[in-house]
């Protein structure tokens, strides 16, 4: 198609009669390409060309185009570059001649070379570098070199483009010489911090078909200015620290960044001066931003700290942040116990659940470290209960007994629930005050005490003692003798009890022979209100003393009168002469009697049985032995010291009474007159009067009874036996008498009927000489004896 157009153009050009033909071809056609059918266009025959030795003449020029004589066409012989051939000249044409010989002919040929886009625009330097401060203002211009394109017209340089277009745009400015100035204009501020290096591509584009382009790399290094403030990584930091943490503990590290570089990016940290009071608590490392504890941290003073921190760069730009330091509690506080109120003492009969103290407990620690439980020992009768939170009440758990424990130390221990747990305790001392709830108690359930007879009145016998478990007045015991009677006599006439001491005194002197024991009650009463009391039985046993000498019952010691035992001269050895009978009203050893021969006319003739008092002969009586034998027997009891009595036994060794009588008339009276003569005189008068009256009565009685009874018994009331002991029998068997003896002293008025005898001793011959001990009596008796003598019965 294009070839056809070109061909048409060249035909139009072959209008010169001279023979001129023009062709138009594009540059850069391949060798051998046909430029034009010149033979035809010149109206020549191919033979002519041959014959004419047609040739192309191009002056001195290179043979770009040759002639093909065979075909009669012009062909490309060498590459034709329009830009080399013509440069910027336009139009560009090759002018040559076609020369023929035979005939010589000359034809002009002009071949116009048309431009094709075979050159791309290009830059001298492949790259360009700029260093631009990031603070460069908008509109700043940066000159760029222009591109060059050898092609012309549309194929020449048409336009530029710059990518990316973020910061810069291109500006083309026409200059006076018609050339254009290419500039790069800053349209958006640079930021080193976002893009430190910008790489741009400048492209120059021609208008050919196809379009061609050339590029240049532009490198922009953005230079830093201090345009960025430092910035903390977080607007709020939080950290935790234990209370009591040691100084120097690192709490946290804050960090800020500054996008600037170099000195513009150097930052230092500080705690905001508005929180100056924190300076003694915390320190910040200005370089590293490490926050360090330098004070003492106490949860109970502050449990959170807000530290305002600032960061400054060298240019003075700054930022601030906040660090919240939470203090974690450590169980470092013991519970505090306060006694709200308490009783110093309570009565022992206080009911259960009596409140004795109220406590308040407080632990400044938090959570478990501050949760407190209080308790007391479980072996004391109290309990503790919480009423309100933090308040405890102490109660009695049972009724108390002062006698078991009069004082309690109640230790309340409060512990928190921390790990490890802390505790504290307080001790309350509670006194239990006394109530009179215990009666006095005697040390023994009954008492027995001994007192030896013949005591001095007022003698203290012994002491009863009662104890009272109560206290003070309630335990002050008084002793009271309870009213009772002993043998019909009030006991108070026997004994008295000392109210304070419980000492029992004898009020009188006791005689064992009259009273051997008695008992009474002593009451012990305390001083309480009302008082309590108890009683005890006290038995007093009176002990025998050897205060009674033995008393000889037989032979009767009758003072002046002589009673003699008859021993026949024919009596054998061992003949029982008589038996000394004695009693002792004392008891026991004091009444154990022994008999000894103290004096004898002839010691070789008689002996006395040590135990039984029997007087026996120990050898045959001979005619040489005196009729009148006098034995002194001593009766001793076994008391300590022993007491004794002596008795004189007259023994008549004779076969007949007259013999005896003659011997005994001159018996000396060895009874002595009493000193108390006056008494005896009065007594004698009374007795004589009494006897006189008695005699009268007796005589009358005798007269009355004589006709009725064949014998007359006259019972003497004379005190022959001065004392008749209340107890004759000796139950111990150690006494002198085996049986109860009933002694009768008889006087016969009728010798024939006389029946007088002396118990056992009466088995022997008895001679009553004088039963009286007084002179007066003796006289009377003597008269009687004389009266009776002629008929004195002798069995």
Nearer to ligand NAG, 342 or 760 (CB): 342
Q: How far is the CB of 673 from ligand NAG (least distance, A)?
A: 57
Q: How far is the CB of 408 from ligand NAG (least distance, A)?
A: 6
**Dist. CA 524–CA 538, nearest whole Å:** 13
By the 8 A CB rule, do 645 and 736 touch?
no
Nearer to ligand NAG, 381 or 390 (CB): 381
Q: How far is the CB of 522 from ligand NAG (least distance, A)?
A: 9
Nearer to ligand NAG, 165 or 409 (CB): 409
Nearer to ligand NAG, 322 or 521 (CB): 521
By the 8 A CB rule, do 449 and 539 touch?
yes
Nearer to ligand NAG, 158 or 350 (CB): 350
DSSP letter, residue 561: S
Nearer to ligand NAG, 56 or 524 (CB): 524
Decide the pairing of beta strands 564-567 and 644-653: parallel
Nearer to ligand NAG, 433 or 534 (CB): 534
Q: How far is the CB of 335 from ligand NAG (least distance, A)?
A: 22
Look-up of token digits 């601030």: 320
Q: How far is the CB of 437 from ligand NAG (least distance, A)?
A: 17
The verdict on 482 binding ligand NAG (CB under 6 A) reads yes
The verdict on 446 binding ligand NAG (CB under 6 A) reads no
- Contact pattern for ligand NAG over residues 40 through 69, marking x by CB under 6 A: ------------------------------
Task: Tell me the sheet residues that pair with 357.
Answer: 342, 394
Q: How far is the CB of 482 from ligand NAG (least distance, A)?
A: 5
Q: How far is the CB of 521 from ligand NAG (least distance, A)?
A: 4
Give every CB contact of residue 665 below 8 A, 6+ residues apart in sequence. Answer: none
Residue 692: φ, ψ to 5°: -60, -50
For ligand NAG, which residue of 108, 259, 465, 521 counts as binding (CB under 6 A)?
A: 521
Site for ligand NAG in 308-337 (CB under 6 A): none
**Dist. CA 533–CA 430, nearest whole Å:** 29
Nearer to ligand NAG, 135 or 519 (CB): 519
Site for ligand NAG in 340-369 (CB under 6 A): none
- Contact pattern for ligand NAG over residues 399 through 428, marking x by CB under 6 A: --------x-x-------------------
Q: Each residue of 560-589: b (16+ CB within 10 Å) or e?
A: bbbbbbbbeeebeeebbbbbbbbbbbbbeb
Q: How far is the CB of 443 from ligand NAG (least distance, A)?
A: 15
E strands in 468-593: 478-481, 485-486, 489-490, 495-497, 503-506, 517-525, 533-543, 551-554, 564-567, 576-579, 581-583
Q: How far is the CB of 729 from ligand NAG (least distance, A)?
A: 36
Nearer to ligand NAG, 250 or 467 (CB): 467
DSSP helix, strand, coil percent of the chain (3-state; round to 5): 15, 40, 50
For ligand NAG, which residue of 257, 336, 393, 535 counts as binding (CB under 6 A)?
A: 535
**Dist. CA 22–CA 634, nearest whole Å:** 220
Number of residues binding to ligand NAG, judged by CB under 6 A: 7
Q: How far is the CB of 534 from ligand NAG (least distance, A)?
A: 6
Does residue 432 have a cis peptide bond before it, meaning omega lies within 30 degrees of 0?
Answer: no
Nearer to ligand NAG, 428 or 635 (CB): 428
E strands in 435-477: 441-442, 446-452, 460-463, 466-467
For ligand NAG, which residue of 249, 368, 429, 472 counts as binding (CB under 6 A)?
A: 429
Give every CB contact of residue 698 below 8 A, 6+ residues apart in sequence. Answer: 714
Q: How far is the CB of 755 from ligand NAG (least distance, A)?
A: 58
**Dist. CA 794–CA 490, nearest whole Å:** 56
- Contact pattern for ligand NAG over residues 5 through 24, marking x by CB under 6 A: --------------------
By the 8 A CB rule, do 585 and 725 touch?
yes
**Dist. CA 608–CA 565, nearest whole Å:** 14
Per CB under 6 A, residues contacting ligand NAG are 407, 409, 429, 482, 521, 534-535
């Amino acid at each position: 198609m294009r070839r056809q157009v070109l061909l048409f153009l060249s035909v139009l050009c072959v209008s010169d009669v001279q023979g001129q033909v023009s062709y138009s071809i594009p540059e850069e056609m391949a060798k051998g390409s046909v430029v034009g059918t010149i033979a035809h266009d010149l109206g020549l025959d191919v033979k002519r060309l041959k014959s004419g030795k047609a040739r192309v003449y191009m002056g001195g020029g290179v043979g770009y185009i040759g002639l093909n004589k065979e075909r009669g066409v012009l062909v490309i012989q060498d590459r034709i570059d329009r830009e080399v051939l013509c440069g910027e000249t336009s139009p560009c044409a090759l002018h040559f001649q076609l020369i023929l010989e035979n005939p010589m002919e000359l034809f002009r040929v002009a071949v116009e070379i048309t431009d094709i886009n075979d050159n791309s625009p290009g830059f001298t330097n492949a790259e360009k570098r700029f260093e631009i401060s990031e603070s460069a203002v908008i509109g700043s211009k940066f000159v760029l070199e222009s591109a060059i394109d050898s092609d012309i017209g549309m194929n020449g340089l048409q336009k530029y483009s710059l990518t990316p277009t973020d910061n810069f745009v291109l500006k083309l400015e026409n200059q006076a010489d018609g050339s254009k100035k290419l500039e790069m204009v800053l349209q958006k501020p640079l930021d080193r911090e976002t893009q430190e290096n910008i790489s741009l591509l400048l492209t120059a584009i021609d208008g050919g078909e196809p379009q061609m382009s050339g590029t240049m790399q532009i490198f922009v290094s953005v230079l830093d200015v201090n345009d960025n403030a430092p910035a903390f990584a977080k607007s709020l930091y939080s950290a935790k620290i234990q209370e009591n943490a040691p100084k120097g503990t690192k709490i946290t590290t804050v960090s800020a960044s500054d996008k600037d570089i170099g000195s513009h990016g150097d930052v230092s940290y500080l705690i905001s001066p508005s929180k100056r009071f924190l300076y003694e608590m915390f320190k910040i490392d200005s370089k590293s931003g490490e926050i360090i504890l330098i004070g003492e941290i106490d949860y109970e003073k502050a449990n959170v700290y807000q530290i305002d921190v600032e960061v400054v760069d060298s240019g003075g730009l700054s930022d601030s942040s906040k660090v919240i330091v939470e203090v974690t509690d450590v169980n470092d506080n013991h519970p505090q116990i306060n006694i709200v109120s308490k009783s110093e003492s309570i009565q022992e009969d206080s009911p259960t659940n009596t409140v004795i103290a109220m406590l308040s407990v407080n632990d400044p620690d938090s959570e478990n470290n501050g949760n407190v439980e209080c308790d007391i020992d479980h072996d004391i009768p109290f309990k503790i209960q919480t009423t309100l939170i933090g308040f405890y009440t102490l109660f009695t758990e049972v009724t108390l007994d002062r006698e078991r424990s009069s004082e309690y130390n109640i230790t309340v221990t409060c512990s928190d629930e921390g790990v490890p747990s802390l505790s504290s305790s307080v001790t309350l001392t509670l006194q239990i005050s006394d109530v009179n709830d215990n009666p006095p108690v005697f040390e023994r359930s009954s008492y027995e005490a001994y007192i030896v007879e013949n005591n001095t009145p007022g003698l203290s016998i012994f002491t009863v003692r009662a104890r009272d478990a109560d206290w003070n007045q309630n335990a002050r015991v008084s002793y009271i003798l309870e009213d009772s009677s002993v043998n019909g006599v009030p006991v108070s006439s026997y004994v008295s009890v000392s109210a304070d001491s419980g000492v029992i005194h004898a009020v009188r002197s006791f005689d064992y022979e009259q009273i051997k024991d008695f008992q009474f009650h002593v009451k012990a009463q305390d001083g309480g209100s009302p008082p309590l009391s108890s009683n005890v039985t006290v038995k007093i046993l009176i002990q025998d003393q050897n205060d009674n000498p033995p008393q000889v019952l037989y032979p009767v010691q009758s003072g002046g009168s002589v009673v003699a035992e008859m021993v026949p001269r024919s009596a054998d050895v061992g003949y029982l002469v008589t038996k000394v009978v004695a009693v002792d009203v004392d008891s026991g050893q004091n009444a154990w009697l022994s008999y000894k021969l103290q004096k004898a006319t002839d010691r070789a003739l008689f002996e006395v049985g040590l135990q039984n008092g029997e007087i026996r002969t120990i050898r045959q009586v001979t005619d040489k032995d005196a009729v009148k034998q006098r034995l002194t027997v001593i009766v001793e009891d076994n008391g300590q010291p022993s007491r004794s009595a002596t008795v004189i036994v007259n023994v008549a060794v004779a076969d007949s009474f007259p013999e005896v009588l003659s011997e005994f008339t001159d018996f000396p009276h060895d009874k002595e007159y009493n000193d108390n003569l006056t008494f005896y005189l009065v007594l004698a008068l009374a007795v004589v009067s009494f006897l006189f009256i008695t005699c009268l009565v007796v005589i009358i009685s005798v007269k009355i009874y004589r006709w009725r009874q064949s014998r007359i018994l006259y019972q003497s009331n004379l005190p022959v036996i001065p004392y008749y002991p209340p107890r004759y029998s000796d139950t111990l068997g150690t006494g002198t008498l085996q049986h109860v003896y009933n002694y009768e002293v008889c006087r016969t008025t009728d010798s024939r009927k006389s029946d007088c005898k002396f118990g056992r001793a009466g088995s022997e011959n008895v001679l009553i000489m004088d039963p009286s001990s007084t002179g007066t009596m003796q006289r009377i008796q003597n008269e009687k004896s004389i009266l009776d003598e002629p008929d004195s019965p002798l069995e």
